[in-house]
Structure 1
Amino acid sequence: MCGRYAVTTDPALLAAEIDAEDETEGTALDVPGYNVAPTTNIVAVVARHSREQPDDAPTRRLRGMRWGLLPSWQKTLSGPPLFNARAESVAEKPAFRNAIKSKRCLIPMDGWYEWQVLEPDVKKPRKQPLYMTPRDGTRMYMAGLWSVWRPAGAGLDVPPVLSATVLTTDAVGPLREVHDRMPLVLTPDVFDEWLNPDGAADPLLLAPPALDVAERIEIRPVSTLVNAVANTGPELIERVEPGSEPGQLSLL
């Protein structure tokens, strides 16, 4: 699963990196950030046609979205945030089956966090936070879905809430030692096909990433400071040897 991540680049720079129009100006965002959590406002990449020239090819756009997908039929903002969706079943789940048809997105991340259980046989096991990030310092783009939501009975003059979810898949290679699930990492060669708003994506894009993709990801022990959502800053992604903090155990 993926319930916390880091993205430390300004949206304008992200837009240049992925050749997209930055449409986040004026949007209250919680990124860049080192401890991004569900229900906060994140950046997602979509591909849409121009309203003025609907027959033109779709272009990539960066948009601010709430992390936790809101199905269009949901009546209120309250309820468990749908911040993850299993790639294997999105086509069947009522909350996601419309979005998978034409509202697919990319969610940029420097890396994501998981917590590894150190004492599985005790009532309250201690956990070591781990940060998964590319070894070469590049960025990852995760497969996601998005939706447009308005309160029941609201007219088109009411600004919609855009929201998104991160797709997860079976963990691959060394990442299986951390968790049985991982975000669905997509490679640049399939970005256009995944984002295409005019048709369904090839089901093969929902398969787990190739082993070489997983092997390029570092599994880095980090500070327990990341446990609190209020904490943020570059110290959260710095390597901290297991057992070096008070109350921690070694992974060995």
Structure 2
Amino acid sequence: MCGRYATTTNPATLAVELDAIDETGDKGFDPNYNVAPTNQVLTVVERHDRDHPEDPASLRLRAMRWGLVPAWSKASEPGVPAKGKPLFNARADKAATAPSFRDSVKKRRCLVPMDGWYEWVTESGGSGKAVKQPFFMSKSDGGLLYMAGLWSVWRDRGQGEDAKPLLSCTILTTDAVGELTKVHDRMPLPMPREHWAAWLDPDHPAPEELLETPAPEAVSDILIRAVPSLVNSVRNNGPELLDQLDEAEAGQISLI
């Protein structure tokens, strides 16, 4: 699963690095060390220019709501989609046939850049009370991770032509591999740069193999470290959430 992550990248800087068009507008993206579902998040898509659809597609950075809202969702009130199960994750092996995701698999795939993601390991403490220790997974060299995602455009059909689009996304997950199996049985699906062109291509379906569970080598550079329980509350947000705990501070739980 991937229900919380951290991202400190600046859209303007990332746009230069990726040679992408920054379409995040006035959303504003300050460093967020505790990204949670329904937050506005940064995504990478490849789309054609609306005014010049015959031109080649280009990389674009877009702000989206984390928690995909299917295009067919009804409105609970004007301009607001009805509440339902928060679709912040989608199983990569089932997304192509799931009603909420299948259209996005065909033509709306994205990348979700992040510094790393959190998972929790729970064990019984000495008093019988469950101990819940958060861990943070990130690249050992400190670089960005790019996870495979899907996105959607929702409009309140009752508002007709005046309806404003709501862009939303979900992060694909797959079976955990390698050392990550010690933390959780699922993990976000990483998308290596050599597969970006095929994954983001708006004109063709993605090769089915890109949705398969990767080999352990794909995550061999992922560093796993215990971090403070401050991250347990979404109200906490700051670089101290990523401080590494030593074995004594992590207490009962060990991944060895």
Give 1:124 deviation, angstroms. 4.7
* Residues 132-151 of structure 1: CA deviation (Å, up to 9, x unaligned): 00001111100000000012
For the residue of structure 1 that corresponds to 2:9, the secondary structure is coil
User: How many equivalent residue pairs?
Assistant: 249
Opposite residue 105 of structure 1, the aligned amino acid is C
Q: Is the 8 A contact 2:151 2:169 kept in 1?
A: yes
Opposite residue 70 of structure 1, the aligned amino acid is V
Q: Which moved more, 1:205-214 or 1:102-111?
A: 205-214
Instruction: State the TM-score, normalizing by the size of structure 2.
Output: 0.92
Q: Is the 8 A contact 2:92 2:173 kept in 1?
A: yes
Q: Does 1:125 align with 2:124?
A: no
* Residues 46-86 of structure 1: CA deviation (Å, up to 9, x unaligned): 11001121111110100110000000111132122100000
Runs of 4+ in 1 over 4 A off after TM superposition: 120-124
Q: Does 1:179 align with 2:184?
A: yes
Q: Is the 8 A contact 2:121 2:253 kept in 1?
A: no
Q: Which moved more, 1:200-209 or 1:72-81?
A: 72-81
For the residue of structure 2 that corresponds to 1:133, the secondary structure is strand
CA pair 223-50 structure 1, distance change in 2 beyond 3 A? same
Q: Is the 8 A contact 2:156 2:164 kept in 1?
A: no
* Residues 224-251 of structure 1: CA deviation (Å, up to 9, x unaligned): 0000001011111120124427xx4342
Instruction: State the TM-score, normalizing by the size of structure 1.
Output: 0.94
CA pair 189-120 structure 1, distance change in 2 beyond 3 A? farther
CA pair 10-125 structure 1, distance change in 2 beyond 3 A? same
For the residue of structure 1 that corresponds to 2:179, the secondary structure is helix
Q: Is the 8 A contact 2:140 2:222 kept in 1?
A: yes
Return the alpha-carbon distance in structure 2 between the equivalents of residues 150 and 51 of structure 1: 18
Partner in structure 2 of residue 47 of structure 1: 46
Return the alpha-carbon distance in structure 2 between the equivalents of residues 193 and 122 of structure 1: 52
Partner in structure 2 of residue 249 of structure 1: 252
Return the alpha-carbon distance in structure 2 between the equivalents of residues 164 and 28 of structure 1: 18
Partner in structure 2 of residue 27 of structure 1: 27
* Percent of matched pairs sharing the same residue: 51
Return the alpha-carbon distance in structure 2 between the equivalents of residues 205 and 222 of structure 1: 31
Return the alpha-carbon distance in structure 1 between the equivalents of residues 128 and 84 of structure 2: 29
Give 1:14 deviation, angstroms. 1.7
For the residue of structure 1 that corresponds to 2:98, the secondary structure is coil
Partner in structure 1 of residue 78 of structure 2: none
Partner in structure 2 of residue 234 of structure 1: 239
Give 1:211 deviation, angstroms. 1.6
Q: Is the 8 A contact 1:142 1:186 kept in 2?
A: yes
Opposite residue 249 of structure 1, the aligned amino acid is Q
For the residue of structure 1 that corresponds to 2:235, the secondary structure is coil
Return the alpha-carbon distance in structure 1 between the equivalents of residues 120 and 126 of structure 2: 16
Give 1:209 deviation, angstroms. 2.4
For the residue of structure 2 that corresponds to 1:130, the secondary structure is strand
Instruction: Could you tell me which runs of 5 or more consecutive residues in structure 2 were left unpaired when the two chains were aligned.
Output: 76-80
Opposite residue 18 of structure 1, the aligned amino acid is L
Instruction: Could you tell me which runs of 5 or more consecutive residues in structure 1 were left unpaired when the two chains were aligned.
Output: none
* Residues 106-153 of structure 1: CA deviation (Å, up to 9, x unaligned): 000100000011228987521110000000111110000000001231
Opposite residue 221 of structure 1, the aligned amino acid is A
Give 1:27 deviation, angstroms. 2.4
Within 5 Å, which residues of 2 pair with 1:3-82? 3-27=3-27, 29=29, 31-76=30-75, 77=81, 78-82=83-87
Q: Is the 8 A contact 1:86 1:168 kept in 2?
A: yes
Return the alpha-carbon distance in structure 2 between the equivalents of residues 210 and 56 of structure 1: 36
Q: Is the 8 A contact 1:186 1:209 kept in 2?
A: no
RMSD: 1.8
